[in-house]
């Protein structure tokens, strides 16, 4: 039952049981003229919130009014940004508290873009409507795809102007996540706290995300393994869906294993391992093909921050930590291989699967084939006669070998194609579509295309007729996204 009196809020503030070092009490800044631009009624229901009143509550989602039970904070953290270590923190985010859902789950409710905090450095603490709508759309699409992610509850415009390269409309996003504890939070504790602070953070994080190991004797090493395994599964999932995060800095790696921080992220169109969209990633550090390896680098940073807890003698802990990172490397490959088998309808395992998979990907790269639509066409058994990939001799040979494989399986062809349907999305939030719907919303105030795309992305595996218009090959484009605006 939701509590209608208080809109269903059931907020706790357990993060504030941690040492003061980890947060600062801060209130969101006031907005001049809040208007609720988008509101996620389905997510609100899952959280136990009562939308009848809340869906008109621009004041809460713009930061003018605190929900019942909120004692807001900004969280401290650090991180390696493009390889360099720096002090960070919630520069423009304020945590309302943790909503305990009717099922007993705990979710952070956080405003992003609600003004300066003690961690803002030179920033204004504000956010712009376009990028906040973009985060809303992409994060909800990720959820639809079945990829662990922070969610978006609302976007409110503030009525204020934010100055970037031009004056732009200000907005606040309400983000929902299992928590905002990051690898960077541990790096912060290691750098600026003592061993007790670090231990408090680790024990708190385990109780919240990995309660099954919270009492174990060797729990800090097990914790490293658990987090690394979640990362392996997550990053493999990104690879399988063609998602490029864009800023895999250690402050953007959530201990919960959720995708967080949608800045210059995008989905790849043509398959190319070097694909990068971020305008600030000049070296291609976070290119598509590098993501699994960067995950290992990030896990090594996480391991370093835990060494003092793993063994009295840090030197003794190093080989154990190394082994955990090596396990991650094997796991990310194993999760990926398992997912690729499903994308191709392969049931069971054999040694030559990897060769079959790799040769398809190599051909896709050679012929600049669209990643999503190649798997979509294979799933629907509709190989376009105009496609240079599908018409190539090399592909025809590959296709025969693949068909032979499917026919030799004990499972039926029908089962194989059903499996493919569940693992190959018929649509993704393609860059040109996202740009189109954002332009309509921001410049014309027309949210109709935004909502239509959002609805189509709710179940990208449905293969409905309505989804078809979003599935056509995209126009050739040179697309870039700009970070943190
Ligand atoms: P991000 O690139 O979003 O992961 O942010 C990196 C750091 O910069 C974090 O400490 C953010 O909180 C902070 N930050 C990003 N944008 C702003 C802004 N407009 N105002 C203040 N702090 C910001
Ligand atoms: Mg970040």
Looking at the fold, whether 411 and 335 belong to one and the same domain comes out as no
Write the residue with the smallest CA distance to atom 14 of ligand 1: 91
Beta strands of 101-183 (E only): which ranges? Answer: 106-112, 151-163, 167-177
Q: 196 pLDDT exceeds 60? A: yes
**What 8-state DSSP symbol labels residue 253?**
B
State whether the beta carbon of 88 lies less than 6 angstroms from ligand 1: yes
The annotated binding site for Mg(2+) is made up of 252, 261
Range of the domain at 336: 186-341
Mutate to test the pocket of ligand 1, among 78, 245, 484 (most ligand atoms within 8 A of CB): 484
Q: Is residue 65 part of a domain?
A: yes
What DSSP string runs through 431-485? HHHHHHHHHHHHHH---HHHHHHHHHTS-TTS--STTGGGSSPPPP----B-TT-
Mean pLDDT along residues 20-40: 98
* Centre of ligand 2 from the C-alpha of residue 420, in Å: 34
Instruction: Calculate mean pLDDT across residues 369-375.
Output: 98
pLDDT tens, residue by residue, 301-355: 999 999 999 999 999 999 999 999 999 999 999 999 999 999 999 999 999 999 9
Are the C-beta atoms of 288 and 244 separated by less than 8 Å?
yes
Q: What average pLDDT does range 61-74 have in this prediction?
A: 98
436 part of a folded domain: no
More confident call, 423 vs 3: 423
Point out the annotated binding site for ATP: 89, 91-92, 112, 124-125, 175, 182, 261
Q: How far is the CA of 483 from the centre of ligand 2 (A)?
A: 10
Ligand 2 centroid, distance to 154 Cα (angstroms): 19
Q: Which of 28, 75, 91 has most ligand 1 atoms within 8 Å of CB, for mutation?
A: 91
- Is residue 48 domain-shared with residue 139, that is, in the same domain? yes
Residue 372 and residue 328 share a domain: no
Tokens of 92: 């423009």
In whole angstroms, what is the distance from residue 359 CA to residue 457 CA?
A: 30
Residue labelled with tokens 């390896």: 293
Q: What is the pLDDT of residue 476?
A: 79
At residue 166, the 3 state secondary structure works out as coil
pTM for this prediction: 0.97
**Token pair of 113 as six digits:** 């873009």
Residues belonging to the active site: 251
Give residue 448's Cα distance to chain centre.
Answer: 25
Q: Is 159 in the pocket of ligand 1 (CB under 6 A)?
A: no
Q: Whose CA is nearest to atom 12 of ligand 1?
A: 91
What pLDDT, on a 0 to 100 scale, did the predictor assign at position 412?
Answer: 97
Same domain, yes or no: 285 and 363: no
Determine how many CB atoms are found less than 10 A away from the CB of residue 408: 8
Task: Report residue 240 as tokens.
Answer: 């399988």
Ligand 1 in contact with 281 (CB < 6 A)?
no
Q: How far is the CA of 87 from the centre of ligand 2 (A)?
A: 12
Q: How confident is the model at residue 5 (pLDDT cuts 50, 70, 90)?
A: confident
- Asked if residue 452 is part of any domain, the answer here is no
- The last residue of one of the domains, among 423, 443, 467, is 423
Quick one: 452 exposed, middle or buried, by C-beta within 10 A (0-12, 13-18, 19+)?
middle
Q: To test ligand 1's pocket by mutation, which of 86, 92, 281 has the most ligand atoms within 8 angstroms of CB?
A: 92
Distance from the first to the final alpha carbon of the chain: 38
Residue 279 domain-assigned?
yes
**Confidence label for 64 from pLDDT (cuts 50, 70 and 90):** very high
Question: Nearest ligand to the C-alpha of residue 482?
Answer: 1
What average pLDDT is seen over the chain?
96
Q: 211 with 164, same domain?
A: no
Distance between Cα 62 and ligand 1 center (Å):
18
Q: Are residues 39 and 171 in the same domain?
A: yes
Residue 38: strand pairing partners: 155
Residue 480 in any domain: the answer is no
Whether residue 460 lies inside any domain: the answer is no
Examine the domain organization and report whether 129 and 16 are in the same domain.
yes
Q: Are residues 142 and 10 in the same domain?
A: yes
Q: Does 428 reside within a domain?
A: no
pLDDT of residue 4: 64
Question: Measuring CA to CA, which residue among 455, 430, 435 is closest to residue 376?
Answer: 430
With a cut of 80, say whether residue 481 has pLDDT above it.
no
Q: Do both 201 and 136 map to the same domain?
A: no
Other CB atoms closer than 10 Å to residue 291's CB: what's the count?
21
H/E element, 417: helix 413-423
CA diameter of the chain:
68
Residue 482 has pLDDT above 70, yes or no: no
- Pocket of ligand 1 contains residue 429 by CB under 6 Å: no
pLDDT confidence bin for 439, thresholds 50/70/90: very high
Q: Residue 478: is its pLDDT beyond 90?
A: no
Q: Is residue 311 part of a domain?
A: yes
Q: Judge if 217 and 171 occupy the same domain.
A: no
Residue 89 beta carbon below 6 angstroms from any ligand 1 atom: yes
Atom 6 of ligand 1, residue of closest alpha carbon: 88
For position 1, what pLDDT does the model report?
52
Is residue 364 over pLDDT 80?
yes
Which residues are bridge partners to 193 per DSSP? none
Last residue within a domain, chosen from 371, 393, 423: 423
Which residue owns the Cα nearest ligand 1 atom 3?
Answer: 484
Q: Is the CB of 119 under 6 A from ligand 1?
A: yes
> Which of 377, 399, 423 is the last residue in one of the domains?
423
Q: Determine the residue of 80, 87, 117, 120 to mutate for testing ligand 1's pocket, defined as the one with the most ligand atoms within 8 A of the Cβ atom.
A: 120
**Ligand 1 neighbourhood includes 485 CB (under 6 angstroms):** no
Same domain, 146 and 206: no
With a 6 Å cutoff on the Cβ, whether 120 touches ligand 1 is yes
Average pLDDT over residues 391-402: 98
- Bridging pattern class, strands 106-112 and 11-12: unpaired
User: Cα of 90 to ligand 1 centre, how many Å?
Assistant: 7
CA atoms of 378 and 456, how far apart (whole Å): 21
pLDDT at 483 over 70: no
How does pLDDT run across 71-123, given as a tens digit for each residue? 999 999 999 999 999 999 999 999 999 999 999 999 999 999 999 999 999 99
Give pairs for 417-422: CB < 8 Å, separation 24+: 417/345, 417/379, 417/381, 419/342, 419/345, 419/347, 420/342, 420/343, 420/344, 420/345, 420/375, 420/378, 420/379, 421/379, 421/461, 421/463, 422/342, 422/461
Provide the 3-class DSSP secondary structure of residue 114: strand
pLDDT at 2: 57
245 contacts: CB under 8 Å, gap ≥ 6: 238, 252, 259, 265, 286, 291
Q: What would the mean pLDDT of 371-384 be, rounded to a whole number?
A: 97
Give yes or no for residue 263 CB within 6 A of ligand 1: yes
pLDDT tens digits for 119-167?
A: 999 999 999 999 999 999 999 999 999 999 999 999 999 999 999 999 9
Q: Which residues contact 21 (CB under 8 A, 6 or more apart)?
A: 76, 189, 192, 193, 197
pLDDT at 479: 72
Contacting residues for 180 by C-beta, under 8 A, at least 6 apart: 75, 90, 93, 95, 108, 110, 254, 260
Ligand 1 center from residue 168 Cα (angstroms): 17
Q: How many structural domains are present in the chain?
A: 3
Q: Could you please report the per-residue DSSP string of 255-317?
A: TT--B---SS-EE-SB--TT---BTT-TT-TT-GGGHHHHHHHHHHHHHHHHHHHH-SSHHHH
Helix, strand and coil percent figures for the chain, each rounded to 5: 50, 15, 35
316 & 366 share domain: no
């Amino acid at each position: 039952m939701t509590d209608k009196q208080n809109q269903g809020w059931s907020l706790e503030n357990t993060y504030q049981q941690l040492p003061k070092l980890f947060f600062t009490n801060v209130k969101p800044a006031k907005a001049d003229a809040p208007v609720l631009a988008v509101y996620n009624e389905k997510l609100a229901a899952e959280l136990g919130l009562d939308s009848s009143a809340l869906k008109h509550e621009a004041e809460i989602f713009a930061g003018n009014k605190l929900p019942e039970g909120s004692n807001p904070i900004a969280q401290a953290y650090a991180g390696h940004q493009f390889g360099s270590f720096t002090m960070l923190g919630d520069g423009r985010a304020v945590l309302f508290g943790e909503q305990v859902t009717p099922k007993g789950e705990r979710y952070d409710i956080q405003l992003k873009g609600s003004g300066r905090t003690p961690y803002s450095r030179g920033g204004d603490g504000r956010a712009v409507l376009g990028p906040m709508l973009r985060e809303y759309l992409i994060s909800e699409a990720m959820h639809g795809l079945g990829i662990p992610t922070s969610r978006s509850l609302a976007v409110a415009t503030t009525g204020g102007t934010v100055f970037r390269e031009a004056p732009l409309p200000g907005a606040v996003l309400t983000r929902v996540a299992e928590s905002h504890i990051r690898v960077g939070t541990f790096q912060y504790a290691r750098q600026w706290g003592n061993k007790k602070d670090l231990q408090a953070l680790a024990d708190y994080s385990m109780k919240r995300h990995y309660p099954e190991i919270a009492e174990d004797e060797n729990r800090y090493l097990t914790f490293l393994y658990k987090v690394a395994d979640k990362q392996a599964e997550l990053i493999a999932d990104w690879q399988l869906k063609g998602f490029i995060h864009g800023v895999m800095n250690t402050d953007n790696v959530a201990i919960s294993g959720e995708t967080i921080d949608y800045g210059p992220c995008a989905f790849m169109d043509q398959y190319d391992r070097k694909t990068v969209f971020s305008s600030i990633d000049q070296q291609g550090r976070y290119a598509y093909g590098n993501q699994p390896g960067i995950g290992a680098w990030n896990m090594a940073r996480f391991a370093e921050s835990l060494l003092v807890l793993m063994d009295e003698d840090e030197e003794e802990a190093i080989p154990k930590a190394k082994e955990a990172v090596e396990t991650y490397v094997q796991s990310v490959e194993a999760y990926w291989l398992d997912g690729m088998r499903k994308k191709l309808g392969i049931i069971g395992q054999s040694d030559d699967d990897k060769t079959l998979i790799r040769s398809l990907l190599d051909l896709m790269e050679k012929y600049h084939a669209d990643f999503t639509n190649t798997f979509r066409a294979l799933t629907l058994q509709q190989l376009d006669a105009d496609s240079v990939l599908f018409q190539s001799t090399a592909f025809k040979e590959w296709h025969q070998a693949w068909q032979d494989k499917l026919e030799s399986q004990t499972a039926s062809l029908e089962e194989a194609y059903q499996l493919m349907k569940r693992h190959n999305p018929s649509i993704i939030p393609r860059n040109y579509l996202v740009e189109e719907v954002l332009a309509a919303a921001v410049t014309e105030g027309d949210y109709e295309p935004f909502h239509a795309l959002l609805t189509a992305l709710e179940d990208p595996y449905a293969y409905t007729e309505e989804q078809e218009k979003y599935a056509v090959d995209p126009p050739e484009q040179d697309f870039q996204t700009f970070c943190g605006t």
